[in-house]
Amino acid sequence: MIKDILNKHEVNRSDIVYLLQVNEENELSLIFQKADKVREKYCGNEVHLRGIIEFSNYCAQDCLYCGLRKSNISLERYRMTKNEILQTAERIFKSEIKTIVLQSGEDFFLTGKDIADIICEIKNNFDVAITLSLGERDYEEYKLWRKAGADRYLLKHETANSKLYSVYHLGQKLQDRVQHLLYLKSLGYQIGSGNIVGLPAQNLEDIAGDILLCKCLDVDMASFSPFIPSPNTPYRKQKPCDVNFILKVMAITRIVLKNVHMPATTALASLYQEGREKGLSAGANVIMPNFTPAPYKEKFSIYINKKSDDDIMTQLTALISSTGRFISKEKGQTLKMH
Ligand code: SAH
């Protein structure tokens, strides 16, 4: 049965739910082997690094799971200056990383033009791709930033169950989130979506729905990361996602989506010491080292015990070669053939 599913070209919802239920050792290794094969076929053995700058932790949203939620008044807020952002971009570039990810909470203090200026400066000074992860903004702003040179946009749908979406995001609608992803796609961005695995009340059908929504949106990047509780949020007492479960979800996601970039996320590395290595063998082909400088880095606390590495490049070089893979020298643009 499991072999039949793994050999199908197109798996359906019930196949995915079946795979998500697999717990027997031999069957699990078949899933991981298949995911590794698919990863190798579509992504090769190169691992792409994306250097993240978390430049503001102000957020207008109040997501129940996230430590940056606006109701979290115990979090000290910061906003990096343009100069600090550019200096950090230079550090990333000098580490020979070819993608810079600008990430923040939904911070409307920064205007569309402020962000566009930062994008332009980075693009003019460094030969890198830019990924934005700034939450939901206006169509006109997305358009301006694309014109300024942004290549990609990460906007996770978080859950494809519309009822749960409205619970986690206080009445907001999944439909609107998806509309934003479609706007971004129509503007020529490479788009990234994905979910959080292990949120309260989520079931296997929901996770199958998350994978299928990414397929339906034909995403270029898919980030499936484990829930980790965050203090000072309504979900502070919830259990974190089980590490073996998130690895299984990642492997199945790779098998279904095939030609997408998929990170071994910081959340996975925070949950489990060898998270990055395990993620790379469960279908991932991307690692996103954090370059946010002190004293800001520790304040971008979306969840507890977020991994913070010193000398990250030395570590990653050793880690990646220990898996028999190598760091890509390319920008790692979309794997889709247009
Ligand atoms: N404002 C941006 C970036 C948010 S932070 C946006 O809305 O897209 C990046 C990601 O952190 C979110 O997409 C969410 O999936 C993840 N995240 C937030 N809280 C989390 C938690 N408690 N556990 C795991 N991931 C979390």
The full set of domains in the chain, from first to last, is 11-331 (3.20.20.70)
**Contact of 125 with 92, CB cutoff 8 Å:** no
Q: Does residue 137's CB lie within 6 angstroms of at least one atom of ligand 1?
A: no
Structure-block tokens of residue 124: 């003019």
Distance 337 CA to ligand 1 centre (A): 29
Could you report the per-residue pLDDT of 74-98, keeping only the tens digit for each?
999 999 999 999 999 999 999 999 9
- Residue 218 has what pLDDT? 98
Q: Does residue 303's CB lie within 6 angstroms of at least one atom of ligand 1?
A: yes
Separation CA 301–CA 318 (nearest Å): 27
Of all protein residues, whose CA lies closest to atom 18 belonging to ligand 1? Answer: 66
Taking the CA atoms of residue 28, residue 33, residue 35 and residue 36 in that order, the dihedral angle to the nearest 10 degrees is: 140
Separation CA 229–CA 306 (nearest Å): 11
Angle among Cα 172, 177, 179 to the nearest 5 degrees reads 125
Q: Does residue 228's CB lie within 6 angstroms of at least one atom of ligand 1?
A: yes
Could you report the per-residue pLDDT of 244-262, keeping only the tens digit for each?
999 999 999 999 999 999 9
Least trusted range by pLDDT, from 101-115, 215-229, 299-313: 299-313
Distance 236 CA to ligand 1 centre (A): 15
Mean pLDDT for the stretch of residues 26-36: 98
Separation CA 278–CA 32 (nearest Å): 10
Q: Which of 256, 223, 245 is nearest to 20 (CA)?
A: 245
Provide, rounded to the nearest whole percent, the portion of the chain with pLDDT above 90.
97
Mean pLDDT for the stretch of residues 110-115: 97
Cα 193 to Cα 173, 285, 291, 295, 326, distances in angstroms: 16, 16, 22, 29, 25
- Residue 338 has what pLDDT? 56
Which helix (H) or strand (E) element contains residue 152?
A: strand 152-154
- Residue 221 has what pLDDT? 98
Angle among Cα 104, 109, 110 to the nearest 5 degrees reads 65
- Residue 309 has what pLDDT? 80
Region of 73 please: left (phi>0), alpha (psi -120 to 50) or beta: alpha
- Residue 311 has what pLDDT? 86
Looking at the chain, the number of H-run helices and the number of E-run strands are: 13, 9
Residues contacting residue 227 through CB under 8 Å, at least 6 positions apart: 65, 196, 197, 198, 199, 235, 238, 240, 241, 303
**Choice from 108, 142, 156 to test ligand 1 binding pocket (greatest atom count within 8 A of CB):** 156
Which helix (H) or strand (E) element contains residue 93?
A: helix 82-94
Predicted confidence (pLDDT) at residue 1 exceeds the cutoff of 90? no
Q: Which atom of ligand 1 is nearest to the CA of 303?
A: 22
| Cis? peptide before 263, omega within 30° of 0 | no
- Residue 308 has what pLDDT? 85
Distance 302 CA to ligand 1 centre (A): 6
Helices 25-43 and 243-257 cross at an angle (nearest 10°) of 50
Q: Which atom of ligand 1 is nearest to the CA of 66?
A: 19
State whether the Cα torsion 84-228-278-42 is positive or negative.
negative
Q: pTM (2 decimals)?
A: 0.97
Mean per-residue pLDDT of the chain: 97
Cα 122 to Cα 88, 116, 131, 270, distances in angstroms: 10, 10, 12, 29
Distance 323 CA to ligand 1 centre (A): 28
Structure-block tokens of residue 231: 């203090």
Q: Does residue 135's CB lie within 6 angstroms of at least one atom of ligand 1?
A: yes
Provide, rounded to the nearest whole percent, the portion of the chain with pLDDT above 70.
100
Distance 89 CA to ligand 1 centre (A): 22
- Residue 197 has what pLDDT? 98
